[in-house]
């Protein structure tokens, strides 16, 4: 059996074009009840007589991912005194799968060495550690009767990456992305064994976003707001806040109710929300009572609505392609190859396009009135994106520029050798490819010219192109050495990467919520991922969804 399993693994590795996982399925108004999803329950094993010092430490590490009864089984590996001192809730450090080793340095000391890949912050958010981070943790042991027990354990939890994925579930709290009008997700983690997270979810929302995201968003709940109670009756969640919420003005009340509805709609059993202050209904301009789970659709963090087409370049002309892969040549200069263009970018509202002419000049045009191209700076639109404020973001000379009617301006960014900058459709974050690595950065709009700050590495693998799948995940075109290019999705909660395979000679990637992931190839074909494999759908290059 073991030989058969090994053979299957080798076959899968060899077949680089075969997807190694299923697709990420996105939904719109019908949201999966993540609060009630089944999960793999960790069955922690208690210590057995005669275990060696290293076996005791390994057993403790394995049992630490079992949260039942306040880690009761893990505490069996500790002396009585240490079980009283050990506090698993002080933080979680995460080490890479199969990177840990235990060395008995003395008769009573065992040293854990592992690659540290991340930690879970005090705001319940997974944060990746810098590359090559090392974890060295000593454990002190003593005999209790005939057996060994741990007398000195580190505070908090030490969990493998696999244990984290088993033991936690991802949720989002939502905040208003600057400059307002849309929501941005703030990923948080809850223990998988926690059956009801409704109250904790609302408390996390009111407490605000993570320190990393906070400068890019607005928390409309007034300072000092407390959650008094959360009840769910016949699918209606009644959330009662302290009177501090009454300080919110009309706009803030709309914002905070949108934040609350979008946060609670992750629980499918909740079909509507009522907001009260000290038991009295909170007046919210323009909102009905109770608020249905479909309320505030215009705050959608994915930023797209209606019929979302994608766009391709073919023979210097731009085409709009519908969900059935039927291509229509655009009217006016954009579709008439006047002049021939490449590297198309489309505004989020699908009213404007940008592209390059043969001399490399950036051209822009309004699609709705078939206007001629408007000349811009001599710079490439390849690897650029268009944000919801009307700024075109471009990688220029290894850095970043923004372009609008006022001209081109340099953007401060701590990274170099940049080849792609993709701004999330909510405008709060950006995926940047620097020196072949993909990073997540925050968009700082506190100054006239926005900046990119706080880089977080998304993946160690080499990356050629990137696109936002939705507000919670991105798509990367990876280019590992001696391997065909493959498309991968990365969720922004646990930074889990799932490979989807890829078409032959892939050169670009495009994604949008509830639409097929696309890839353009070197021979001028557009391929789509149909949920199981990649299929060619039409001729063209550089597929692009709005944004």
Looking at residue 21, what is its pLDDT?
A: 34
Using the predicted structure, report yes or no on whether residue 14 has a pLDDT greater than 90.
no
Please compute the mean of the pLDDT values over residues 213-224 and round it to a whole number.
Answer: 97
d(CA 57, CA 384): 50
d(CA 255, CA 251): 6
Residues 66-80 have pLDDT tens digits of 998 999 999 999 999
Please compute the mean of the pLDDT values over residues 163-191 and round it to a whole number.
Answer: 95
Quick one: DSSP state of residue 243?
G
Please compute the mean of the pLDDT values over residues 175-199 and round it to a whole number.
Answer: 93
Tokens for 447? 């100054």
Looking at residue 180, what is its pLDDT?
A: 86
Name the CA radius of gyration of the chain, rounded.
Answer: 26
Please compute the mean of the pLDDT values over residues 185-198 and round it to a whole number.
Answer: 92
Looking at residue 15, what is its pLDDT?
A: 38
Looking at residue 369, what is its pLDDT?
A: 86
Using the predicted structure, report yes or no on whether residue 64 has a pLDDT greater than 50.
yes
Instruction: Tell how strand 236-241 and strand 272-277 pair up.
Output: parallel
Please compute the mean of the pLDDT values over residues 50-59 and round it to a whole number.
Answer: 98
d(CA 462, CA 60): 36
Looking at residue 280, what is its pLDDT?
A: 97
Q: Phi and psi for 143 in degrees, rounded to 5?
A: -80, 140
Using the predicted structure, report yes or no on whether residue 298 has a pLDDT greater than 70.
yes
Residues 504-526 have pLDDT tens digits of 999 999 999 999 999 999 999 99
Using the predicted structure, report yes or no on whether residue 387 has a pLDDT greater than 70.
yes
Using the predicted structure, report yes or no on whether residue 481 has a pLDDT greater than 90.
no
Looking at residue 31, what is its pLDDT?
A: 36
d(CA 421, CA 379): 14
Using the predicted structure, report yes or no on whether residue 174 has a pLDDT greater than 80.
yes
Looking at residue 44, what is its pLDDT?
A: 80
CA 516 to chain centre: 18
Helix (H, G, I), strand (E, B) or coil at 193: coil
Which H, E and C letters describe 26-69, residue by residue?
CCCCCCCCHHHCCCCCCCCCCCCCCCCHHHHHHHHHHHCCCCCC
* Summary mean pLDDT of the chain: 91
pLDDT band for position 406 (cuts 50, 70, 90): confident
pLDDT band for position 41 (cuts 50, 70, 90): low
Using the predicted structure, report yes or no on whether residue 6 has a pLDDT greater than 70.
no
d(CA 74, CA 43): 11
Residues 309-337 have pLDDT tens digits of 999 999 999 999 999 999 999 999 999 99
Q: CB-based burial of residue 34 (10 Å sphere; 0-12 exposed, 13-18 middle, 19+ buried)? A: middle
Residue pointed to by tokens 């000679």: 505
Using the predicted structure, report yes or no on whether residue 83 has a pLDDT greater than 50.
yes
pLDDT band for position 148 (cuts 50, 70, 90): very high
Residue pointed to by tokens 């936690």: 168
Q: Which of 76-90, 215-229, 357-371, 502-516 has the lowest mean pLDDT?
A: 357-371
Using the predicted structure, report yes or no on whether residue 16 has a pLDDT greater than 70.
no
Please compute the mean of the pLDDT values over residues 77-100 and round it to a whole number.
Answer: 96
Residues 234-262 have pLDDT tens digits of 999 999 999 999 999 999 999 999 999 99
> From the CB of residue 161, how many other CB atoms can be counted at a distance below 10 Å?
20
Using the predicted structure, report yes or no on whether residue 37 has a pLDDT greater than 60.
no
Looking at residue 339, what is its pLDDT?
A: 95
Please compute the mean of the pLDDT values over residues 280-306 and round it to a whole number.
Answer: 94
């Amino acid at each position: 059996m073991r030989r058969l399993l090994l053979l299957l693994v080798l076959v899968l590795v060899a077949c680089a074009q075969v997807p190694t996982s299923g697709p990420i399925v996105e939904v719109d108004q019908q949201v999966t009840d993540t609060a009630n999803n089944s999960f793999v329950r960790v069955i922690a094993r208690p210590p057995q007589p005669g275990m060696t010092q290293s076996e005791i430490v390994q057993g403790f590490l394995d049992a630490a991912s079992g949260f039942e009864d306040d880690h009761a089984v893990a505490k069996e590996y500790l002396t009585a005194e240490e079980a009283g001192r050990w506090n698993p809730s002080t933080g979680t450090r995460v080490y890479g799968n199969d990177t840990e080793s235990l060395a008995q340095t003395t008769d009573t000391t065992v040293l854990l060495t592992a690659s540290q890949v991340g930690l879970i912050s005090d705001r319940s958010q997974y944060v990746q550690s810098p590359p090559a981070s090392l974890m060295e943790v000593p454990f002190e042991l003593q005999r209790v009767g005939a057996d060994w027990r741990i007398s000195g354990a580190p505070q908090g939890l030490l969990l493998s990456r696999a244990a984290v994925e088993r033991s936690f579930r991802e949720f989002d709290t939502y905040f208003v992305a600057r400059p307002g009008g849309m929501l941005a997700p703030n990923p948080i983690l809850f223990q998988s064994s926690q059956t009801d997270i409704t109250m904790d979810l609302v408390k996390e929302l009111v407490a605000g976003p993570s320190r990393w995201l906070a400068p890019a968003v607005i928390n409309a709940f007034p300072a000092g707001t407390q959650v008094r109670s959360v009840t769910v009756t016949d699918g209606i969640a009644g959330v009662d806040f302290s009177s501090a919420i009454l300080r919110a003005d009309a706009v803030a009340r709309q914002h905070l109710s949108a934040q609350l509805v979008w946060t609670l709609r992750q629980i499918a059993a909740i079909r509507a929300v009522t907001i009260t202050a000290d038991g009295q209904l909170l007046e919210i301009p323009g909102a009905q009572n109770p608020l249905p789970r479909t309320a505030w659709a215009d705050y959608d963090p994915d930023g797209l609505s209606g019929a979302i087409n994608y766009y391709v370049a073919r023979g210097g002309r731009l085409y709009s392609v519908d969900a059935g892969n039927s291509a229509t040549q655009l009217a006016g200069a954009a579709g008439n190859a006047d002049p021939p263009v490449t590297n198309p970018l489309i505004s989020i509202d699908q009213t404007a396009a940008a592209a390059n002419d043969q001399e490399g000049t950036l051209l822009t045009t309004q699609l709705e009135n078939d206007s001629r191209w408007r000349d811009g700076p001599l710079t490439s639109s390849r690897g650029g994106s268009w944000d919801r404020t009307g700024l075109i973001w471009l990688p220029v000379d290894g850095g970043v520029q923004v372009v609008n009617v006022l001209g081109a301006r340099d953007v401060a960014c701590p990274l170099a050798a940049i080849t792609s900058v993709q701004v999330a459709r909510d405008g709060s974050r950006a995926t940047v490819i620097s020196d072949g690595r993909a990073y997540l950065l925050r968009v700082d709009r506190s100054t006239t010219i926005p900046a990119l700050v706080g880089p977080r590495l998304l993946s160690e693998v080499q990356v050629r192109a990137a696109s936002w799948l939705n507000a919670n995940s991105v798509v990367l075109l990876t280019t590992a050495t001696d391997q065909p290019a493959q498309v991968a999705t990365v969720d922004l909660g646990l930074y889990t990467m799932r490979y989807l395979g890829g078409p032959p000679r892939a050169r670009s990637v495009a994604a949008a919520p509830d639409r097929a992931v696309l890839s353009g190839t070197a021979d001028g074909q557009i391929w789509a991922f149909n949920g199981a494999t990649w299929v060619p759908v039409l001729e063209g290059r550089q597929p692009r969804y709005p944004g």
